[in-house]
Structure 1
Amino acid sequence: MSTVALKASLALWTRRLKYRRARHRFYHRKSKRPAEQRDQLAAKWHGKVGYAETMVSRRRRELAARKPKPSARGKAVAWAQARVGIVEKPPGSNGNPANISRWQASLGFGRVPWCGIACAKALQAAGVRGVSSRLASVALVEDDARAGRAPFRAWSSGRGVSRGDMVVIGGRGVHVELVVERHADGSCSTIGGNCLAEDEPVLTPRGWVPIGNLVPGAEICDPSGGTAEVLAVHRRGEEEMFAVTLADGSTVRATADHLWTAGVSGRGAQRKWRTVTTSDLRKGNQLPHIAAQHLDIDSDRPLDSYLLGLLLGDGCISGSTPTIDTSEDEMAALVASALPAGVSANAQFYRNSGDTPGQRQIRLASPKNQANPVTDALIKLELFGCLSFEKRIPEAYLWAPEEDRLAVLQGLMDTDGTVGKDGKVSFSSSSRELAEGVQFLIRSLGGRAGLHVRGNVHYTSPTQVVPKAARDSYRLLNIRCDAPLFRRHRKAARVKPRSFPGRQWSIRSVEPAGRAQAVCIEVSSASRLYVTRDFMPTHNTSFGPGGSQSNGGAVAARRRSPSEIRGYALVNYPG
């Protein structure tokens, strides 16, 4: 409040106080003054109070009139800032009946990229003349600015830029945003789009491919289990990245406005799913469950997949004749059913100590003077001679069709897998590479599993009474997977069915991860989702018909570095 208004206010309250005292004197004390004189004096005080009130109100109106009205540039920026967070509905539609589609209609535009629509609507809200559908064609924005055609007055590489001007991001005709603030280091705060870091991998049937290496027409995996096609690729330049990490340790880097389909509330079938940006993700939000992925690298797999899993689990593959240890008749039968022609399962019993029944060692032997097909296959797979802590799953089996991947996993789970009393499934190995391979198989089949390391391990046995130091144990705990993980009936019977995917799909953290080159893609799948690092499902960007690009599915604020800015289209604002 100004000094004049403060003085007027104090004077008002002073007069009110005097009036109240006078009223008390005239009406509550025994006064010798006549009633007519009392009434005249009261009217006098009333008049003074009314005059003071009138002066204060007038002064307030004068001060309000002096407040500067927002400029046209301020109106454009304010309009854009008020729309931050608006998303496409449905995702990938390049519209939203509540706002985006309405903006198109009010501007008289067709289905054009709405990075241009949002900018055009902001300029229209500020009263800028000459706003036309040319604004939505990003290439024409630069052409019109260079020619000085309305609504632009000039093109600039950085000089003379003010809030409310338009900035072209990336190459010619790539993307436009509205400048919110220009910074001394040459960067600027803007409104705009969504992407992943260019080195983040995208799942394809033939392996991981960095998103920056994808081209239109490339085949990628759909979270529903099928395949999809890349329709367009959009390079956004260098941006701030955030690491999104799930409870099982899966992580991927994305920009603040990259889109995700996430469960934001409820449990199980009652969970509510929303399309949100990275900055909107919260701890406990869940990503959708994916189906078993369609993978198939054309590669030679010389050994039965289930037998390979058994050998990697409880097999000895460092000797001339591979062996598998077991104590159950059922396992012996399963081994025999997976052997190649010409190989026999020769069982040999032995006792550990006293009356404790020993295990059955099954030798996978071939006829005398003949090559052992199992040994030859292990040599070809570069597994022959590996000790337990050196075992791994060959790439040819990691990227095999679904039935082969499941068979390898079942062999490993039948040997080194465990089902607890509570029905939860786990896996343990002294080989980190093998445990990571099992985790890959589980995720590729639509499941989740977190990897944990247990150090300071000691073991005992009937022949080793004193605890002996052992190698670190790499464990996958609380494995969730809809596929049947076991062939052994004893273990399969103890698995407790889960009615919902579990906490492994929940988000543990979203943290800053530096700056990187950002790339976003549009895919042909109905869900508009694709699979990225650690089999995490994420949302594509949105492009209009004919490859026109939207601002990435959501209106969002960001800071652009000088290296990603092509130039500025200076807007001719009124006034």
Structure 2
Amino acid sequence: MATSDATVDVSLRAAKTPVMGADWFIEPFSDNEFDLDIAEFVEFNLLSGTGAPFLLILEDILRMYEFGFSVIEKVYEEREWSPRRTGANRRKYTMLRKLAPRPTPTIKEIVYDDNGGPVSIKQGAVQADGKPVDVEIPIEKLIIFSNNKKGGNLEGKALDPDTTIPTPDGFKRLDDIQIGDVVYDENGEIQKVIARQEWKDRPIFDILFSTGETIRCDAAHEWAILYGIQKKPFVLSTSEMFGAEKRDTGLCNFSIKQSKALWYPKTEQLVDPYILGQWLGDGTALTAEITSGDSEFQKLIEEAGSTIGSVSVKPRELARTYIIQGLATKLRVMNLKSNKHIPQNYIRASYDQRLALVQGLMDSDGHVDRWGRCEFVNTNEDIIDGFIKVVRSLGTKVRIYRKPPNPSQGRKKWTTRVHFVPGFPAFRLTRKLERQREAEKSKKCTHPHHQIKEISFVGTGRTICLEVSGESHLFLCGESLLPTCNSLLRTAYRPWYFKTNLYNIDGIQKERHGMGFPVVELPPGAKDADIAAAHEMVTNIRTNEFGGVALPARWVLKFLDLPGQPVDVMRSIEHHNGAIMLNTMTQFMLLGLEGTGGGRATSGSHQDMFNKSLRYVANLIADDFNLYCIPYLVGYNFDTDHFPKLRARNIGETKDLQQWASAVSNLFAQNGLTPDIETEQWIRTIIDAPLKRGGVQTPILPGAVITDQKGNVTAENDGNSGAATDNAEG
């Protein structure tokens, strides 16, 4: 999201920039010389004496916004240093050489003691020779900054190492997936693994889904879920759902959307996938014969590119036995004769190839009821296993029912029934396809989600977290291809999801209203192949500089005007932009944009709350330095328990210089400020004026007056001292 959505990126930068641009300084423990020297020493180490500017260090620390936490390692060296005061001795000190960021995606594990406190981190590093190595860094050398921490630990959005993860090369154990490998997101698109982390002794839960599959995960692992009958996804952790997964009526509260079809490249296939499906369902294992009672069978085989060699009919049977030319040789080469199964290059093939395979299997051994629910029945476990994988990879949830052998009923093997509601044409046979289409028109059966049936605590154990390159931060897990989440901006996910889809809708409707609705009129007697070609033509028509179409004879292409006006989705997009900005309290930045309202008072109120939240973040950062860095630095070099503190001011505030100058003037007039060189330098810093050189205060001229904002004289210098005298009445 942060890399591709301007609103998310701007809201993050708006939340970081004021903290980075604040005035960071060291506050001495007291004003005695020794404490002032220590404060100067700490200031030099933190703010100016390390290998990188403090501004860049802050930028690395603030990555806790995206990752939930960030880690800095303190690296020391011996160097000479002396205070700036006159007569100070120069000697060697143990000083900070650098505050080195340890990128969160490279941290593989945080090790905890028996009391739950961190002991060390394990970081995946790369040696000079390019070889990877795990480095363990003790907690004493680290500062860990956290943002919006949930519970006692900093991590936990992880799954059990044995979790099955779908990849373009087949299913893999999560434990075997490394940085640089590829997985699938919820849209079936390939995403790269950009980070991998491991955790030990984490609370583990089992989540039972309606498919019968159980996913074991960390308590803090996140899921993009639907609540009840809602259609709007949002992110919840496992622990947040635990105990609330069912209503009093027994119905499930939470469900997960079915992923879309997986992308695979087109593969070389010796046998057409539709013909292979027909043979796997109704073919003879030892020969290339296929038995079918459908009159359309020969036509469908020929349309798939094969030729029927011979046809035979057994007495008193309606079904015919077909021999397809060349099929026996090809099946032998593919090692399928007497070994029926779906080869891997058919399971991991293009969408059209997998669809054709399913259609061949469903035409032979499939059925669809009047509700639109499809069923595939077979006793061959290898065929069943491959069929389930292919149907799931087409973006469809399946339910599996098994019946044991029953010799008395002539059932010698286990029979498996696979039920699913497809979002695609599951048949080519006309009688079955028409029944499916009728059910879809009446919407008798919808495409189900994966319901969460039960969540149970199972103990503690090792878990692994992946971060992927996709915008949604979702990836698929389990054999059921369940979308799961490692979202970093979890509260921004829901508005981002709808905003992205609204932009797509806006583009589609503008294209449709701009060029019209394409319609192709076919001549009488058009064949099914012509209808399919016409449908593909109108689907792919685009209006651009390369647009165009070649029509066969007597085909007519028309563009119909759509009634009504396009829906204005921009108002909804603006709403979701505001919700994303609200994630970091930067919604005031939208006031006045795109016709939005909001007066100065409203903007000021929002900005004031935003500034308070940033002061809180800055104080958290300062407190971590004050607890885990400054005491160590001072203790290594000075015999004292009086420690200075890191502070931040001017965090996002703006100044009205005229009002500020009047306030300072009144403080001088009331002797609240002393006009010495330090104060003058501070004033010059505030008004962005050059600092005075030579260390001599600018004298206040006799007769100089101090006025308020309205020009009224509040004080006058009598020429006898460096301070003005109070001439105010009373």
Is 1:277–2:237 an aligned residue pair? yes
Q: Is the 8 A contact 1:349 1:360 kept in 2?
A: yes
SS at match of 1:378: helix
Displacement of 1:458 after TM fit?
6.5
Displacement of 1:439 after TM fit?
1.2
TM-score w.r.t. the length of structure 2 is: 0.47
Is 1:230–2:193 an aligned residue pair? yes
C-alpha distance in structure 2 between counterparts of 1:493 and 1:515, whole Å: 52
What amino acid is aligned across from residue 242 of structure 1 in structure 2? Answer: F
Task: Give a deviation string over 1:245-304, Cα, whole Å, max 9, x none.
Answer: 3211233222111111000132xxx423210112223252111222111124x8652111
Q: Is the 8 A contact 2:159 2:464 kept in 1?
A: yes
Equivalent in the alignment of 2:300 = 334
Runs of 4 or more, structure 1, over 6 Å off, are 92-97, 100-108, 115-119, 173-179, 568-575
Task: Give a deviation string over 1:325-377, Cα, whole Å, max 9, x none.
Answer: 1111112221233354xx5342212244xxxx52111122x4xxxxxx31222
Displacement of 1:410 after TM fit?
0.7
C-alpha distance in structure 2 between counterparts of 1:219 and 1:510, whole Å: 29
Query: Which of 372, 376, 380 lines up with 1:431 in the alignment?
Result: 380
Equivalent in the alignment of 1:250 = 213
C-alpha distance in structure 2 between counterparts of 1:214 and 1:484, whole Å: 35
Displacement of 1:116 after TM fit?
11
Is 1:114–2:64 an aligned residue pair? yes
Change (3 A) 1:329 1:444: same
Is 1:380–2:348 an aligned residue pair? no
Is 1:359–2:319 an aligned residue pair? yes
The sequence identity of aligned pairs, in percent, is 21
C-alpha distance in structure 1 between counterparts of 2:66 and 2:75, whole Å: 9
Q: Is the 8 A contact 2:76 2:95 kept in 1?
A: no
Displacement of 1:444 after TM fit?
0.3
Displacement of 1:520 after TM fit?
1.3
SS at match of 2:355: helix
Equivalent in the alignment of 1:530 = 475
What amino acid is aligned across from residue 422 of structure 2 in structure 1? Answer: C
Change (3 A) 1:501 1:569: farther
C-alpha distance in structure 1 between counterparts of 2:228 and 2:264, whole Å: 33
- 1:177-196 alignment, distance < 5 Å: 190=153, 192-196=155-159
Task: Give a deviation string over 1:131-169, Cα, whole Å, max 9, x none.
Answer: xxxxx42434999xxx999xxxxxxx999x978x65544
Q: Is the 8 A contact 1:398 1:405 kept in 2?
A: yes
Query: Which of 264, 272, 289 lines up with 2:258 in the alignment?
Result: 289
C-alpha distance in structure 2 between counterparts of 1:452 and 1:158, whole Å: 45
Displacement of 1:209 after TM fit?
3.4
Change (3 A) 1:323 1:313: same
- 1:298-309 alignment, distance < 5 Å: 300-309=268-277
SS at match of 1:483: coil
Equivalent in the alignment of 1:448 = 397
Q: Is the 8 A contact 1:239 1:516 kept in 2?
A: yes
Is 1:394–2:328 an aligned residue pair? no
Change (3 A) 1:170 1:525: same
What amino acid is aligned across from residue 232 of structure 2 in structure 1? Answer: K
SS at match of 2:349: coil
What amino acid is aligned across from residue 139 of structure 1 in structure 2? Answer: E
Change (3 A) 1:312 1:400: same
What amino acid is aligned across from residue 311 of structure 1 in structure 2? Answer: W
* Gapped regions of structure 2 (runs ≥ 5): 25-57, 78-93, 97-110, 124-135, 247-251, 490-582, 584-626, 633-640, 643-730
Is 1:344–2:285 an aligned residue pair? no
Q: Is the 8 A contact 1:224 1:290 kept in 2?
A: yes
SS at match of 2:179: coil
What amino acid is aligned across from residue 272 of structure 1 in structure 2? Answer: K
What amino acid is aligned across from residue 487 of structure 1 in structure 2? Answer: R
Displacement of 1:499 after TM fit?
8.3
Equivalent in the alignment of 1:418 = 367
C-alpha distance in structure 2 between counterparts of 1:174 and 1:403, whole Å: 54
TM-score w.r.t. the length of structure 1 is: 0.59
Equivalent in the alignment of 1:239 = 202
C-alpha distance in structure 2 between counterparts of 1:330 and 1:142, whole Å: 81
Task: Give a deviation string over 1:182-218, Cα, whole Å, max 9, x none.
Answer: xxxxxx9645431122332332222233333334333
C-alpha distance in structure 2 between counterparts of 1:517 and 1:571, whole Å: 35
Displacement of 1:102 after TM fit?
12
What amino acid is aligned across from residue 344 of structure 1 in structure 2? Answer: I
SS at match of 1:358: coil
Displacement of 1:378 after TM fit?
1.5
Which has the higher mean CA deviation after the structures are superposed, 215-224 or 108-117? 108-117
What amino acid is aligned across from residue 222 of structure 1 in structure 2? Answer: D
Q: Is the 8 A contact 2:167 2:182 kept in 1?
A: yes
C-alpha distance in structure 1 between counterparts of 2:176 and 2:470, whole Å: 20
Change (3 A) 1:245 1:433: farther
C-alpha distance in structure 2 between counterparts of 1:289 and 1:401, whole Å: 19
Is 1:137–2:79 an aligned residue pair? no
SS at match of 2:183: strand
What amino acid is aligned across from residue 434 of structure 2 in structure 1? Answer: A
SS at match of 2:435: coil
Equivalent in the alignment of 1:509 = 454
Q: Is the 8 A contact 1:166 1:569 kept in 2?
A: no
- 1:71-220 alignment, distance < 5 Å: 110=59, 112-114=62-64, 136-140=70-74, 166-171=118-123, 172=136, 190=153, 192-220=155-183
* Gapped regions of structure 1 (runs ≥ 5): 1-89, 120-135, 150-156, 180-187, 367-372, 460-466, 544-552, 554-567
Q: Is the 8 A contact 1:429 1:435 kept in 2?
A: yes
Aligned length: 395
What amino acid is aligned across from residue 114 of structure 1 in structure 2? Answer: M
Q: Is the 8 A contact 1:312 1:412 kept in 2?
A: yes
